Amino acid sequence: MTEISANVTHPSAQSARRPLSLSDAKMLLFGLGLATAVEFYTFDGVNLVLPDMAGSFGISRDQASWILTTYSSTMFFGVPLSIWLAAHLRHRRYIIGSVVLFAIASVGSSLSSTFETLLFWRAIEGFAGSGLTMWWRASIYMLVDRQHRSASLMRVSVMLYLATTVGLLYAGFITDHVSWRLIFLPNVLFAIAAIVVLRRHYPDVPPSSDSRVVNVDKLGITLIGIAVIALQVMLSRGEIDGWFESPAIHWLAWIAVVALLLFICWETSEHNRHPLLRLHLIRTRPVLSATFLGIFAGTILSGSLYALPEYLRGVDPNRLSASDAGRLMCVYALTAAAIRPFVVTGIAKFGQRKTIAFAFTMLVLSMLVFARLITSGTPEIYYAVPLVMYAFCLAPMLSSIGSGTVGKVEAESQLDAVSIYMTFRQLGTSLGVTVVSIVLHQRETLHSSRLYEHLHATHGPLVAWVDRVAGQIIGRGGTSPIDAKAMAVKILSEVGATQASTLAYADVFYFMAAIGVAALCVVPLMPPSPVAKK
């Protein structure tokens, strides 16, 4: 789904073994790419076919978003656990286990007969995916020689963007011609290939000397688990129950906030000798900036393009098929794969802060172009322009945030800093889809009320339009005047609803542009970086 650029190190592992040579690392990189490809592939594929999944289970648009938020929430829970689990279970065993669990959950998602069962398996997928998205990069920094790391990171990143492309193309094609349930099955093939390669080429990493490997922060795990569950239920039920008009939502909000605050207090307490996360690192400028930028990055990753497939397939008059929408959406992934090799050069020349400022600026511009294009009758090919612009946000944003924040933390604390960054980024990812859904619903209601507030039975232009359309229906024969007028009113209602939805989707992109502007304000928190001399 995403990448992080951070100089992740593992002191005990590095001191105990020599980094792999470039030739030995080739198959390792291939195995890590295959393992993480299942997560990248699935994330965008599911978002593309969300309308088809909603139709199969007879659920609303808001309920369909739970398929994404449940996945993101359990990933949010799994990221802070990933350091301890990897060290406790040993790195190779943990990564392979995550691949196996993800593949099993993918099969479960494919075979789900009820919406609740699908959410259960999506939750398992998210927890397994946290290990994959966290540790593919950490493994490279532990095992690959320093001078070859940049090239290795770039190669795997390109591989993951290409996996996203495959996911969009295959998910669209198989959904149109067979069923959306088959979009999960290639994960099994990816998983088998990844396991074979990793078993042979992922070396044994010596056990960590960190006392947290042996001692479990049970209270910390319990508190973050309570916070995640309460937050997920609140976000899922909020729109249906009227948000804070419901006492249940009030209670869930208080439980999530109190549990999160208690978790922070416990993790920073001197009485906790084995914290799950070393949150005292937030006092440093690099990690502090990483937390804020991480929330924005997660919101951008999940919210920016969430509404586009839904609009193109459900609201736009042309009503694209899943295949056509997938072919259009893969433009951004292919562009990101093409420009990713040049990102390192750009960061070296301009520095991380200027690069991330450029990325957020491209986000704002791409969202504004999207908002301008969201009108009835816009040719679909026009959307390729803002998708390319979004790719120029995506590739440099992810690389510059990691290397410009947690990449500057001391080696002995770097892995903990990355975990903190990824935890807050996953929090933003969980919030992104939910916030966009809320904005979409609220703006659609507002536009509907504005469109219809001046329409009444005595409104001259309205009466004339209804009479004209009813006359055309009667002229075709076989319809009584009363039925023809009812049909004309129904047509008017549908036209108004489509117009209100179109305006609401445009407002979503304006909202994401505002998120980009807000993110630009946080960039100065990032420590300045030296740039290459001319």
Mean pLDDT of the chain: 85
Q: How far apart are CA 217 and CA 200, in angstroms?
A: 33
Q: How far apart are CA 331 and CA 324, in angstroms?
A: 12
Q: What is the pTM of this model?
A: 0.86
Whole-number pLDDT of residue 275? 86
- Residues 202, 31 contacting (CB under 8 angstroms): yes
* Judgement on whether residues 476 and 335 belong to the same structural domain of the protein: no
Q: How far apart are CA 92 and CA 139, in angstroms?
A: 9
* Judgement on whether residues 206 and 196 belong to the same structural domain of the protein: yes
Say if 442 falls within a structural domain: no
Q: How far apart are CA 170 and CA 161, in angstroms?
A: 14
**pLDDT band for position 14 (50/70/90)?**
very low
* Judgement on whether residues 470 and 481 belong to the same structural domain of the protein: yes
Q: What is the torsional sign of CA 480, 486, 492, 494?
A: negative
Q: How far apart are CA 170 and CA 465, in angstroms?
A: 45
More confident residue, 138 or 263: 263
**pLDDT band for position 15 (50/70/90)?**
very low
Instruction: Reply yes or no on whether the pLDDT at 281 is more than 80.
Output: yes
* Judgement on whether residues 519 and 480 belong to the same structural domain of the protein: no
* Judgement on whether residues 160 and 230 belong to the same structural domain of the protein: no
* Judgement on whether residues 245 and 306 belong to the same structural domain of the protein: no
| pLDDT tens track for 358-406 | 999 999 999 999 999 998 778 999 999 999 999 999 999 988 888 788 8
Domain at 305, CATH number: 1.20.1250.20
* Judgement on whether residues 138 and 181 belong to the same structural domain of the protein: yes
CA distances from 284 to 40, 148, 215 (A): 31, 29, 26
CA distances from 264 to 72, 344, 413, 476 (A): 21, 35, 18, 70
Say if 390 falls within a structural domain: yes
More confident residue, 514 or 413: 514
| pLDDT tens track for 37-69 | 999 889 889 999 999 999 999 988 778 888 988
Question: Which residue among 171, 188, 216 closes a domain?
Answer: 216
Domain range enclosing 239: 217-273
Say if 311 falls within a structural domain: yes
The single-letter code of the amino acid at 42 is: T
In order, the DSSP letters of 149-205 are: HHHHHHHHHHHHHHHHHHHHHHHHHHHHHT-GGGGGTHHHHHHHHHHHHHHHHSPPP
Q: How far apart are CA 532 and CA 534, in angstroms?
A: 6
Instruction: Reply yes or no on whether the pLDDT at 209 is more than 80.
Output: no
Say if 317 falls within a structural domain: yes
Average pLDDT of span 77-89: 87
Beta bridge partners of 20: 144
Whole-number pLDDT of residue 8? 42
* Judgement on whether residues 174 and 206 belong to the same structural domain of the protein: yes
Say if 462 falls within a structural domain: yes
| pLDDT tens track for 429-488 | 888 888 888 888 888 888 887 776 666 655 666 667 666 766 777 777 667 777 776 776
| pLDDT tens track for 148-191 | 777 788 888 899 999 999 999 999 999 999 999 999 999 999 99
* Judgement on whether residues 71 and 60 belong to the same structural domain of the protein: yes
* Judgement on whether residues 265 and 168 belong to the same structural domain of the protein: no
Say if 269 falls within a structural domain: yes
Two tokens, residue 32 = 């890590």
* Judgement on whether residues 333 and 257 belong to the same structural domain of the protein: no
- Residues 25, 144 contacting (CB under 8 angstroms): yes
Q: How many domains does the chain have?
A: 4
Q: How far apart are CA 67 and CA 53, in angstroms?
A: 9
Helices (H), 206-321: 218-241, 247-268, 285-303, 307-314
Whole-number pLDDT of residue 432? 87
